[in-house]
Every structure is written in C-alpha cells, then in structure tokens.
Chains A and B, each alone.
Chain A
C-alpha cells in the first residue's frame, strides 16, 4: 500500500471543507472494506484519507413522519439488525444480509456500498425500487437526488470530490405492497451477483391487478437500472404469465451486461429475464398468500 496521510475530522462540515481543499487527492474512508483494497491493488493512490470515524452523526436509522432516514455511516450490520428495516423494508434487509461476510458487514457501511458504485452493489436495485433518496452534503450545502439517478458509470456517482453522502431516505411503504430482491451468484453466499433483480409490487385488493410495480436490475449494465418500459406494460393489468414473460423479456433486452469471470454477457441477459419473471411471480404469490415456487 502506498503511503498516505490520515485525518479524522469531527463533523461532516469539517470533512467536506478538507475534501474541498484537496480535490481528487483525498478519499473518504467509511468502513474501508472496499477503499483499502482499491489502494493496495494500486487502483487509486490517495494522498489523504479522510476518515469518518469521529463523526457521531449519520449513524442512526430514524423513523420520521412515516419515512425512514438511514444514516449513510451505518454499518451493513446496523442495517441488517434494524427492526424497522426488517419490518417495513424487508427487501433491503434481505439484500444487506447478502453483502459480503459477517466481517465485512461489521465494518462496511451502507453509504460505502452505494458510493463505490459497483454495478453489482446489492443495495442499489432494492433502494431504487423503494424510491430511496440520497441526501448529499457539500461545501455549498445539502442536495437531494433519487438513488436511481445517483450512479453514472462503474465506480462513479454524481458525487463531486468534495461531497459526502450522509443519508438515505426511504419513503413510507408500509402496507402498500412488497418487494423482492433475487441475487444469482456462483455460490450461495459471499459472492458478487452475476445479476440481481429487485421488484417492488402493489396489487389492487379488489381485483388482484398490478396497481404499481418497480423493477430494477444490477450487475446487468454499467450502472444499476430501473426498467420503466417493462413496468408500464404491467401496470393496471392482471399478473398473467404471458404478460410477466413479455415484461421480463423487455427487462432482459434493456440490460446491457458484460462478460467477465463470473458469467458471459449472454447468460446474464438470459438470467435477467429468468429472475425478473421469478421475482414477479413469487411476489404475486406472496401478496396473494399463495405458496411460492
């Protein structure tokens, strides 16, 4: 690992001003589980590490007026252990539990999982379908952005070098519907997704038609994507197999994966379709209290 200086400011304001004066040479350290690997692999060479460890703020999961604010510095373990997340945002709870090992979840943060902008980040697709919002602090104050617009390309987000993601705001979802994240890995635990599909769906109690649906995919394009087209053909319709298949095909077509050591482009495209179908079918069954496949 190359040499660097280290500073641990006491507030986000202080951290942001340090970042502002150092530009690209400084990097934020939250849990370090990705950052230190990037440094030791020689992929980045920061001159200054700005550690968030002394900042007490943004480490809580708070419920306010129905919505929930997740502090970006919460560890993945904190999120996985949170009762409100488990009870009201199960899709996020499940996704977080599938990130890394217990060791990684002890240190890695939810903010870090998003800010690294891995196309395979497990929280990305679930947060997108939950309609989460990123709250960002910079030298010019605070700004907010829907998570779906947060990612730009592999490893890149809309964050400026002097900005810090502080909070992820989850809108009220209780009683509305249910979400499901399906991750396909090469093995059953601790693996990056070959592809991940998240679906959030609301059915009309009166006729079982799809009232609202959101579909997002990860590890299937340069950045996590929400597939609006496929959603729109499902909305207001009954979740029939043929329609689900058609929508899943659209999701597959919208995906733009790469070939890497985990899988080929072709396989990924195919799996996006298969998992989308499975997610919608399983959710339909779950919402109708039927046994799932």
Chain B
C-alpha cells in the first residue's frame, strides 16, 4: 500500500505517495526527475547515488524513501547556487577530475560532506573518505587533487 510522505529535498518540500519499497534513489530520479543522482549498482557498493542526508553521505539506493521523511536531503542539483558552480564543481571541471562523469555527482556530494566537517584533510584522509565512490576512469588522482584544492578555498 502506498504511503503519503513529505520529503525535504534541496530545500523544497515535496508531498509524495510512495510504496514502502521505493528507495530514496528511485523517488529522487523517477518521481522528482532529479537525474543528477546516478544509479550504478543498487547495492550500496559504488557510491554513484550518494546524497547528503542531514549532512551525512548516504547511498540513496539503500535508504527507503519512507525512512527519509523528516530529513534534509541534498542532491547534486541543490549544490550550485544562482548558476554559480560550487567550489568543488568548479575544481572538478578545471582539474580534469571529470572523465565519463558518471561518478562525479556522488563523488562531489561525498567530498562536500568531508570538507563540511574537515576543512584541511590530508591526502590520505581524502582517499579514505571517497573510497566508497567507485571511479573507473580517472585512477582518482585528479579527483583527489580537486578536493584538496577545494579545501583551501572552502567556506
């Protein structure tokens, strides 16, 4: 049976009817049309569906939408303000950290969660923190560099 829930995503409140089995990922992508959040494995193993839930990175494929009620959800679409790229987005572009780009939204969300709590991470800390975000293209080098350089400018 469908349940009526209220979700707060990127600062907007959505009233939705969802099946209990619908994941947050499915609702974000298929009902709300926010396709920036990607689906790579549906098992919480690749990190491409990472969104922030009350500031913490979660695999939205492993969160039931009904469980997200009352939480503040931030997706990649909510990151840039007034057409200005977030510093992480800007640096990912400029450092060449984006190849196929499929991991990028999840990777940037995870990186944001890191920098929100740790303003000056070491390279090791960055690598450890993003390890749940699978990237098949870059070998991680340019991703790590863009996160480290973003930290220096982070507000």
Contacts and interface: CB of A to CB of B under 8 A. Distances in A.
Interface of A: 1-6, 8, 29, 32-33, 36-37, 39-40, 49, 51, 53, 77, 100-104, 106-107, 189-190
Contacts, number: 79
A102 B110 contact: yes
Contacts of A189: 128, 131
A94 B50 CA distance: 24
Closest 9 CB pairs of A and B: A101-B132, A6-B20, A106-B56, A189-B131, A1-B21, A103-B59, A103-B132, A103-B57, A106-B58
Given A102-B57, A103-B110, A32 B20 contact: no
Contacts of A2: 21
B19 A104 contact: no
B132 A102 contact: yes
Contacts of B113: 102
A224 B67 CA distance: 31
Nearest to B106: A103
B14 interface: no
A104 B23 contact: no
Contact of B63 (A6, A32, A77, A100): A32
B66 A6 contact: yes
B44 A104 contact: yes
Contacts of B20: 3-6, 49
Contacts of B72: none
Interface in B38-68: 42-44, 47, 50, 53, 56-59, 61-64, 66-67
A6 B132 contact: no
A104 B59 contact: yes
Contacts of A190: 131-132
A101 B47 contact: yes
Given A101-B47, A103-B110, A36 B64 contact: yes
B3 interface: yes
Contacts of A29: 64, 67
B21 A4 contact: yes
B67 A53 contact: yes
Nearest to A39: B21
B98 to A, nearest CB: 20
